[in-house]
Chain A
């Protein structure tokens, strides 16, 4: 069985020292080892942004695609080979701005895969513009007088869209983050994990200290029940989504692959492609 070291490659990330994304990389590597994967059984599909580089920093199959489209690419990979563990990842701009349409529909589709968002409330790679996750009033390069658009609450949206697994974590809490990624991978269906992953270069407001002060770990909330969707929604609204831990999980809904008609246990990629002559003749005869 592979250890987390086998999920490391010798590439030095080009993230700024202190960037929250380092912990996300480490957590994926640990979680992959903890659930018993071999490197070739994992495919990491990422978007474009500082965070999107993550697929190049893990020793696994990796695809770094185009801005906002990690999710449809990842869903295609999983449908082709359901034996693979598929993780999609990217930034809050990638997933909640340009790619928001795909995020909602990937949630609805509920293909068995995990989506990890590195949420730094800003655009890192393009050097500091506002993101849909920026707080109102937040001053950035593109909002010099402060952001005036409403901050998006992707986890509330996820619950409304029928998400079967919703979690949130924080880069500083490697233990919790690793455990949530493991649970996400093991969940049957689409798992969304939003990670507060501070941008130390362009976001001087939502810093490590700021998060430490403002977030509540759900483990400390008595009687919190992650199988209760209404409770999950209420908690997100009450706390302005400043909570970490497993927020909601529906263990009864089947994943897309297990609902789609005719889909087999054997991955499509290993199936025989040829039609027999009699199969072909039958298909052709329908046009006579």
Chain B
């Protein structure tokens, strides 16, 4: 019996690839398996090859696998495109309709199942997904009742007749493939899972849920891949809690509306990707200058310009940290798991109000869209800290304005929300005095710049870094962020098995950079590899800028649009250890 397996479904976009994946993984989740999904898609709605890959395991996993055990193909292109991933002894389940063949040299078995024909016989080709997932399920020798429960859940509201039909499609698919294969495949027999249904969600779901739990009641946003799911979730949920989502005319309106409602006291966020973030930059400066809290999510995707809009990249880091004119206080968080997407979103709202600064939550496409099993989310960890908001303000006889920007030790001053009696003050992006009135006085300028920027030294963020595999003197320290964590972990285990003492650091706070936490780990390590999905090594330069130790730092970069594979992390790390320092551009080798 095995304890993990990789399965992939491929076809034309709009042809049922998504739904086959959904129903198959929902059923696996019912049995308690840990799942990690990866979507390969393009920005077309219909047509064009698309595939979804799931890794199934009895223990937690957070990375895609190097190879593939089972490929389900709706067309020949799906076989040709993905066959190279199949491991020796793998299986292809293909629709008999297109007379499938597997490329020469592929050491896999082909089962041609009349997927479309069975579906059409039962009434509609739409049921292809049921036939295909039923066949996959049967090959694994998993109990059909569990699968049928998942079907009931998916189609229950459409009535018993529809449920029956779909269950029949599943049964027929299963029956056909078992006849071809002579029964379930022994080598694909999974160890039983723990039977506990896990939370199964994408990073964007976790962010949206986190926002709701944090008390966010307005979201203003403009649709963009891969951020839209956040607004789509909140569009469904916010009205139940008195709130609303406004789909604005552009991202400038989205961020400025969010600034307006945060100023007026309601936790509000916006979410976008690189192109939208570029449009927001001037307004982020306004939030910094007026000390207005606001939470902005950047789901990074392939840039520059429209770039690779449906592909993985981590190339906005410099733009997020430096991308507004002038100098403002700002926090940039980088969650590295689904759970962190949730808790960090809650934290982002608290940080924004506690320090009265813009907070950017930076994910990447794979973290935002990859569907994964997730640990239980703890209600008791949700804390709402609104920071310093003045409620009762005493009358000032002299008729002076409320000192919204009073100079304080912490740099944070009390906010009076519009509507509060005796709290009237001015707010402007022009340099201003303690009451918010414009002032060009050089002394005031220095005080106010120091007040705002001084907050950066005091910012405290929970767990700014994570360390895995702690060694006193590691041979190798691999540093990453965002979705690369699980892949690095897997490679680390391989390296450790060869006696290479390997530590793994995840940087979760990009700005202000956690120098005190990061430095000792770099000092102790013999070699350092910074691994990131961009072409210029932005995280590596951030580390060099803040920590130094340039000679130790090696970059491993991948910017072909795909996430790192565990084997790539392993082999690139070995190369660094044998060849010494140099920048490794993985993407060049792939060409």
Residues on A lying within 8 angstroms of B by beta carbon are 9-11, 38-41, 43, 45, 55-56, 59-66, 69, 71-81, 83-84, 101-102, 104-105, 109, 260-264, 266, 268-269, 271, 273-275, 277, 280-281, 283-284, 287-288
Contact = CB atoms under 8 A, between A and B. Distances in A.
B242 A263 contact: yes
A38 B265 CA distance: 19
Contact of A66 (B243, B249, B263, B283): B283
B446 to A, nearest CB: 22
B260 to A, nearest CB: 3
A101 B437 contact: no
A287 B256 contact: no
Interface centre among B201, B213, B418, B430 (most CB of A within 10 A): B418
Contact of A56 (B29, B213, B240, B426): B426
Contacts of B237: 283
Given A40-B423, A69-B256, A287-B199, A76 B218 contact: yes
A268 B217 contact: yes
B377 A284 contact: yes
Interface in B402-441: 417-430, 437-438
A56 B437 contact: yes
Contacts of B259: 65, 73, 76
A105 B222 CA distance: 13
Contact of A280 (B213, B240, B290): B213
Given A39-B424, A62-B427, A81-B419, A283 B209 contact: yes
B76 interface: no
A64 B429 contact: yes
A268 B242 contact: yes
B430 A274 contact: no
B532 to A, nearest CB: 29
Interface centre among A77, A104, A261 (most CB of B within 10 A): A77
A72 B248 contact: yes
A13 B256 CA distance: 26
A166 to B, nearest CB: 20
B415 to A, nearest CB: 12
A101 B249 CA distance: 7
B165 interface: no
A80 B379 contact: no
A40 B197 CA distance: 52
B449 interface: no
B126 interface: no
B403 to A, nearest CB: 15
A3 B484 CA distance: 63
Nearest to B428: A64
Given A60-B424, A83-B419, 18 more contacts: A43-B418, A66-B286, A71-B253, A72-B220, A72-B248, A77-B263, A77-B264, A77-B418, A80-B218, A84-B419, A104-B249, A109-B246, A261-B239, A266-B242, A274-B384, A280-B379, A284-B376, A288-B197
B250 interface: yes
A79 B260 CA distance: 9
B198 A79 contact: no
Contacts of B268: 76, 80
20 contacts: A41-B419, A61-B425, A63-B260, A64-B427, A66-B282, A69-B283, A72-B248, A73-B256, A76-B220, A76-B260, A79-B257, A80-B260, A101-B253, A260-B239, A262-B244, A263-B239, A269-B264, A275-B241, A287-B205, A288-B197
B250 A79 contact: no
B258 interface: yes
A253 B240 CA distance: 24
A273 B265 CA distance: 12
A273 B244 contact: no
Given A80-B218, A273-B215, A73 B257 contact: yes
Q: Which 9 A-B pairs have the closest CB atoms?
A: A76-B260, A262-B239, A273-B215, A80-B264, A76-B261, A80-B261, A80-B266, A73-B260, A64-B428
Interface string B209-237: 10011110110100000000000000001
Contacts of A260: 239, 244
Interface centre among A40, A43, A45, A273 (most CB of B within 10 A): A273
B217 A75 contact: no
Given A56-B438, A72-B248, A81 B215 contact: no
B401 to A, nearest CB: 8
Nearest to A55: B426
A283 B212 contact: yes
B96 to A, nearest CB: 36
Contacts of A261: 239, 244
A59 B426 CA distance: 9
Contact of A65 (B241, B256, B379): B256
A33 B261 CA distance: 25
B246 A79 contact: yes
B423 A288 contact: no
B118 to A, nearest CB: 30
A105 B379 contact: no
B347 to A, nearest CB: 15
Interface centre among A79, A83, A101, A281 (most CB of B within 10 A): A79
Contacts of A263: 239, 242, 244
A262 B240 contact: yes
Contact of B384 (A10, A273, A288): A273
Contacts of A45: 260
B209 A284 contact: yes
Interface centre among B220, B244, B256, B429 (most CB of A within 10 A): B256
A43 B264 CA distance: 10
Contacts of A81: 264-266, 417-419
A3 B213 CA distance: 43
A40 B420 contact: yes
